[in-house]
Structure 1
Amino acid sequence: MFKDIALEDLFCLKNEANHTLVDVRSPKEFMETTIPGSINVPIFDDEERAEVGTLYKQKGQEEAKERGLEIFSAKLPGFITTCKQLGTPLTVFCWRGGMRSKTAATVLDLMGMEVNRLSGGIRAYRQWVVDTLEKEECNPELLVLNGYTGAGKTLILHELMKRQYPVIDLEGMAQHRGSIFGQIGINPSNQKNFESQLVQKLIEYKEHPYVFIEGESKRIGKATVPDFLMNKKEKSMQIFIDMPLETRVEHILEAYHPWEYPEKFIDAFQIIKKRIHTPVAKEIEHDLRTGNYRHAVALLLTYYYDPKYNHSTSHPNAKSLHIQAETIEEAVEKIENVVGDIFPLKNKLRETLHH
């Protein structure tokens, strides 16, 4: 018989490589929010879930159950095959730990698979996320990367991650690049998914002496950074990255690929066009329409983003230092040297990360 497990037990299992979390809710529910690291093997698709829900409201629980079982019965071979192919013990969950996860766990158990069901489902997990954020805890010191647009702050964070430094990538969690063009070509995350990932990182790094983070604004796409993290970030060590304009333009072109979404870039530019001196704005728009993206980006940086950045950066209560670099690798190496000077326990930190 399958076991019902609590969140505390789930967190222990999540640390095991040989274990898979399976969200059996519909694809739409899964996209709205899930437990980070889960995969979606739905019992109902979006239309089927709506049908069963309507039956429940109009004709009652028994009618809805019968229709739900009828739908799922036709899917059983595929559902079982998909779960078996995962090749690990499973924990299944739905919205409240109700009929969908119970049915899935029962079927998989009957097929001889090792399976648990999460008590309380995603609703219990979501409440835990909210409660955790309400504690307003961020134990490590923050090392905040700043710099003009295109300075490669996200690239630097990713390189630091590769070198096993602790990093909280807010833009990655928000699925947004933090500019008026930031959502083009990607699907921005919502607040629930953003908070779930943030909580996981805050807990993962709570024993570390420091964490790298980017100097983002409070709102990133559809996500909002909690006040306690913003307040701590503003008072933390600020590391300003200076890179040549040409390098910054190259970083932006590599990240955004404007030639793949020409109309979307033109539309987004209309939002900020009125804030740029008219002759320059006309030149930028002409460049965007004719595909001269390198020149358009250079003008946007020089006449819009750089002045805006200078106006917005103020950290009166924070220590700061400046790093000049020609490449991402050079910037990372200089940051490593800085960290080694500020935190003598760097080697001990690395041992902690490896264990």
Structure 2
Amino acid sequence: MTEIDTDLLEFKLPKHHKPGSDRLSRLLALQPEFIDLVTAALVDSTAGTYNAAPTNFLDKECDAIYVTRLTNSPPIILEFQARVDMNFIHRAFSYCMEVYKKYNVLPIVLVINTVEADRFLLVNKFKSTETWPYMLEMECSVVAKRFYLLTRNSIKDLVDSDEPLTPLVAAAHFFISRSPSIIGNSRWDDENIRLMYRLCMKFAGQDGVQEVSRLDTLKRVCIDTHDQFEKIVKWARLDPAKAAWYALAGMEYTAKTARQIDDLLSSGAITPMGDPDTEDLVSDTLARKSQKETEKAAILDFVEKLKTKHRGRMNWAACFGAAADESSMAEVIARYSNPDSFKRAYYRLK
């Protein structure tokens, strides 16, 4: 038995990263070393063969999907489930059907049951596998190539023995034990258990910083949208047109922020979300200026004249710059902070 590192002995996961929690499970499932461990055990793949794929195409996202570019190699669905019952099984089947539609290959499903399972289901639907006596399997070849289940009881004999833990048993024991530090894990001396905690050490601190960054960004979005609503309420009776203008700017701002979040979800990234662009919001300077019909006509006239001079696709950055240089457009252009907002105004007025 090799000596355990001092930093690993002293490491303790924070409360929001307790083993078995959704957040920790999904973060650990994205680590390349963890992906290699799971896929090598299930399909004997080499390191780097499988990668994590986005799961947001599902009606209800599963914990992880691993895919490879190798022809006919099955996608792998990984689920960490507190309670395994028939409702969960039906949901897992729906994952399989959606994955098959997307990749045209039946998946392999691996479920790590962290708390409890319906006993009737275990007795009547799951059987021990010949290859892995610690693994249970259910016959469902119509929707999945294989459907495996690891439970506290199925891994108990190996966990309680002096034998080294297989990678899948070590992973299951890590999540089922729910110990925030390695010293509290009954198999702290096992190499694969140590790997689980080393991986957690790599991302737990970084994720804490990223989470603060996300919360700061979310707070800023809330403040900005609150201010925008405040302006709308203020001008709703005094100048409905101005209130509507603020509402449109607020809609664009929140839609852009939502797109940023969608992009992060699609990429499966865990990097911090960048600050939203508040230039999409109407400035207070703009609020003090009313948009007269003559100014609307000025925008349309200026853009149409520019279009006749320059054939082809409109360069809105150049158009915005030309309007800024035009003395007759000085008051109008002051209303817009960038070419995109000027472009949107033109198409609204057109």
> Fold-level match, TM-score > 0.5?
no
The TM-score normalised by the length of structure 1 is 0.25
The answer to which structure, 1 or 2, has the higher relative contact order (CA under 8 A, 6+ apart) is 1
Bigger radius of gyration among the two: 2
The TM-score normalised by the length of structure 2 is 0.25
